[in-house]
Chains A and B, each alone.
Chain A
Amino acid sequence: MKAAIRPQSSMSRRSGSLIPDKFRLFLFASPFLVLILLFSYFPLYGWLYSFYNYRPGFPLSETPFVGLQWFKAIFSNPTQTQEVMRVMRNTLAMSTLGILTSVFPVIFAIMLTEIRTTWYKKTVQVLTTLPNFISWVLVYSIAFMMFSVDSGVVNKWMIALGFQEMGINYLAQDDHTWLAMTLWGLWKGLGWGAIMYIAAISSIDQEQYDAAKVDGAGRFRMIWHITVPGLMPTYFVLLLLSIANFINNGMEQFFVFQNAINKDHIEVLDLYVYNTGMLGFNFSFATAISMLKSIISIVLLFFANQLSKIVRGESII
């Protein structure tokens, strides 16, 4: 590390800079610090709203200060508490499913690299990567075209093939909502998620495969003993990152797919905050609930930290 810095600093002296090295490095970092302040700390200012009775249109100073009323409201009313618990359950369930399905891009990447025909491989890859660039709103319109009762393709086929007697509104069902949402997410993200692993596979030493071949290993042996272990470090890094994002499962997807029937199981924390704030017209209460997210994130962080201490003997913070 020291060796790396040394030549640089000698160069700066040569160029006659007036700024001492220590500040120089700080200046290099400062744009990023500003960005962090701007996007990670400045929004915390919005938490203030949870202590007021905010009504849009009025400045905060003109709205009544209510202290912890909204926080108490979450727990003082049993129905309300149940609602929040329901939302937390959805959030955690869908995040867990998301993490469980994170092996699929790995499998997909391995299969893709095993394909020998180049044009076919390329086509499959492009077709699977494309959905990642379609917004959720459009994904929903695709879903609506496929699954609506009157004009949906799926219903037409099912009726024509005799599997069902009349149209079923597949989008307005609450069976397996979590699973369905995870599958939509998987469909959208599969190809995109595989890109990283394809890159990782291509960096695996070719000699290992050659050696294995000499030893008489078949395709599956090679995959199992060379490719999979070679991918593991990448997989674990990405897994850790997704655990860090455990609580953020976004809201777009759930927002477009929600309806009265599946609402009980589709409402994740972000969506619930939107629904209470924007639709229920209660911004202060919604802010209070959204702060739950930070609390849970902090708990998760300390949990992971503790785990790291026990397993690896060193902690992150």
Chain B
Amino acid sequence: MKQGETAVAVLWWRGAFQSEKYKPIYRCKTYKCLYFKKREATALKSLRKTFSLLLATTMLIVSTAACTSGTNNGAGSTASTAPSAGGATETAGSSEQEEITLDVFSMLSNFSGEQTGWFAKVIKDKFNINLNIIASNLEGGGDVKFATMMAAGNLGDLVIFGDDGQKYLDSIKAGMLVDWTKDGLLDSKGQNILKYAPKAIEKNKANFGGGSSVYGIGFDVGDDKPGPSEAKDLTYNPNLRWDLYEKLGRPEINTMEDYLPVLKQMQELEPTSESGRPTYAFSMWADWDGNMMVLTKAWAGIHGFDEGDGFNPGGFSLVSADKDEYQGVLDEDGYYMRGLKLYFDANQMGLVDPDSMTQKFEDVVNKMKDGQLLFTFFPWLDDTYNTAEHMAEGKGFALVPFKEERTFSYGYDPYGGNRVWAIGSKTKHPDRVLELIDWLYSPEGNMISSNGPEGLGWELKDGKPVLTAFGEQALPANDTAVPEEFGGGTWKDGMSQLNNSTFKTTNINPDNGEPYDYNLWKSTLEKSPTKLDQDWRAAMGGALTAKEYLEKNNQLAIMRPLFTGTPPSVISDELEQKRGQVAQVIKQFSWKMIFAKNEAEFNKLRQEMLDKAKGLGYDEVLAWNVEQNKKVFGYRKQ
């Protein structure tokens, strides 16, 4: 309490003397505040002195508290939330809500620390909330951060799960998440969610909440319609430097292995990047590896297979999006092993960045920006190179499909995907966290998180969204300077670092009748295409986007939404232990095999991997995975 009182004093002191900005927020309501105000009139001068002293003491207290709570942000939040413990505030308008800092534990973020820039400003202005992001990707990777936070019994205020598997189920079971139905929370604060994503709530109730409780909501909630839900690109596309590919006369590519000779020629064509560093076809990173190497798994992705069945926790089976087919990760002729062989061959040809194993994702982004890469799997990574200037020159990444391609695609899913937004049970402000989530699930919130605030990146003309001059420069993720009134910094740094979506961006925004994704706005499509777009479209038989091309040529494997009404299966502890150990072996040997010195060593390592993985129980885990996958094949037919 003592600390709370001093905190009140500090906040009030700031409001009274320092900044005009804080005044409306701390309008006098409590007796404490009034008391201070009265004294202010009589003895302002002596008071200032006292408060300076008080402030100094508080700083001391806060700084010592910071040691115990770990971060400065944490300390800030305890200090500023303290007044509510005294029952001081009960406000209606957001501008009158006290300032709080929410700890966001995101298992998807690639950024840790306080959210800054334009998105931070939007959230601050609207909700008076600061977001302190804790990113498990950056803190040990894998499940390390999750395990420590679970053991500490606190998952933060806003929790973002990378999937709705074991971790989500454990968190619910251990009571780490808030039940949104308690005290009518969802009904009072979740109006948008109930209006725009009712089926997602229904699914969470049925699958995870025993039919009554709601512990979270899935991402990418889609409209109820068939077809692929992606905007212009798929999750995995084989993207090549189009300008170089064109210079080579667009050689035909039939199988995934055919990329290698083409990439080699491209490398010879452009041996160094803009800053004079060597170019590579593949530059990889290990930060995101889970049960296997993510960038090897991607080869399965462009054949329509992905880890797990999209419903049960993933493991060692790769499952087809639309057929009743599956492969074991270590199957001799499976896509994963083929991917490893491909990378090995690429490395022999000098196409693999030798830093791959020791660098982090951030390093790859920088290399991409510099033009050191010739191939990527992820269209959103293209954006770092496909700047307006590059594209005007005709340089940039674009889909170069191969004959056998059947890229994994997600259908519209009104039930929401498997990345979950949830609220940590130790939060002091479940209502305000839900308010924030609810806003993100509103047309306005989704529009702003994807395209920035109105007036900055886009504006309405005749009721339809149009990119502003700034938007054309900055979107999707460029280092364009943002005006101070919108939060300053650069566009890229100011983007939402939560790294989870709410609605499918291809959904139609009910406010203006256009999709959320600016690429699909009528105004954007009518705009004269860049040189890169022109070249690409001409070569692809007039298709406007990668998705359109693949859809036309029947090269998509669309996974239909699945609603089972039951929770995903839970793996037994014994199998879970085996999975953990086998995953380590698979990851370690995958990397070793790629960098093997010669074919003989590659084969020897492969055998070693098989022996070790099988010795540690690979077959048992796979058998369990397959058993669950088969159940899902049954559900798909319903």
Contacts and interface: CB of A to CB of B under 8 A. Distances in A.
Interface in A256-315: 259-261, 263, 275-276, 278-283, 285
Contact of B581 (A78, A150, A167, A282): A282
Interface residues of A, number: 36
Given A172-B354, A172-B358, A261-B595, A279 B144 contact: yes
B442 to A, nearest CB: 32
Interface string A77-91: 111101000000000
A280 B588 contact: no
A282 B355 contact: no
A283 B144 CA distance: 11
A39 to B, nearest CB: 20
Interface stretch (B321-329, B407-415, B572-580): B572-580
A260 B591 contact: yes
B358 A171 contact: yes
Contacts of A56: 146-148, 150-151
Contact of A167 (B286, B354, B577, B584): B354
Contact of B584 (A58, A77, A275): A275
Contact of B142 (A261, A276, A279): A279
Nearest to B357: A172
Contacts of A166: 278, 350
A248 to B, nearest CB: 22
A69 B591 CA distance: 32
A79 B609 CA distance: 11
Nearest to B146: A56
Given A77-B616, A79-B616, A260-B591, A278 B355 contact: no
Interface stretch (B51-59, B169-177, B485-493): B169-177
Interface in A44-92: 53, 55-58, 64, 73, 77-80, 82
A229 B174 CA distance: 63
A169 B357 contact: yes
A260 B286 contact: yes
B592 interface: yes
A18 B353 CA distance: 76
A148 interface: yes
A260 B588 contact: yes
B153 A149 contact: no
A150 B176 contact: no
B357 A279 contact: no
B357 A260 contact: yes
Contacts of A78: 615
A57 B358 contact: no
B423 interface: no
Nearest to B573: A53
B580 A276 contact: yes
A281 B591 contact: no
Contacts of B174: 55, 57-58
A168 interface: yes
B354 A149 contact: yes
Given A79-B612, A279-B144, A144 B358 contact: yes
B24 interface: no
Contacts of B589: 260
Contacts of A144: 358
A55 B592 contact: no
B258 interface: no
Nearest to A257: B358
Given A169-B355, A278-B144, A55 B615 contact: no
Interface of A: 53, 55-58, 64, 73, 77-80, 82, 144, 148-151, 166-169, 171-172, 259-261, 263, 275-276, 278-283, 285
13 contacts: A55-B170, A64-B573, A80-B581, A82-B615, A150-B355, A167-B278, A172-B595, A259-B591, A260-B587, A260-B591, A276-B584, A279-B584, A282-B577
Interface of B: 140-144, 146-148, 150-151, 153, 170-171, 173-174, 176, 277-278, 286, 350, 353-355, 357-359, 367, 372, 573, 576-577, 580-581, 583-584, 587-592, 595, 611-612, 615-617
Given A79-B615, A282-B576, 9 more contacts: A58-B173, A168-B354, A171-B358, A172-B595, A260-B587, A260-B588, A261-B591, A282-B581, A283-B147
6 nearest A-B pairs in the assembled complex, by CB-CB distance: A79-B615, A260-B591, A280-B580, A57-B150, A57-B174, A56-B150
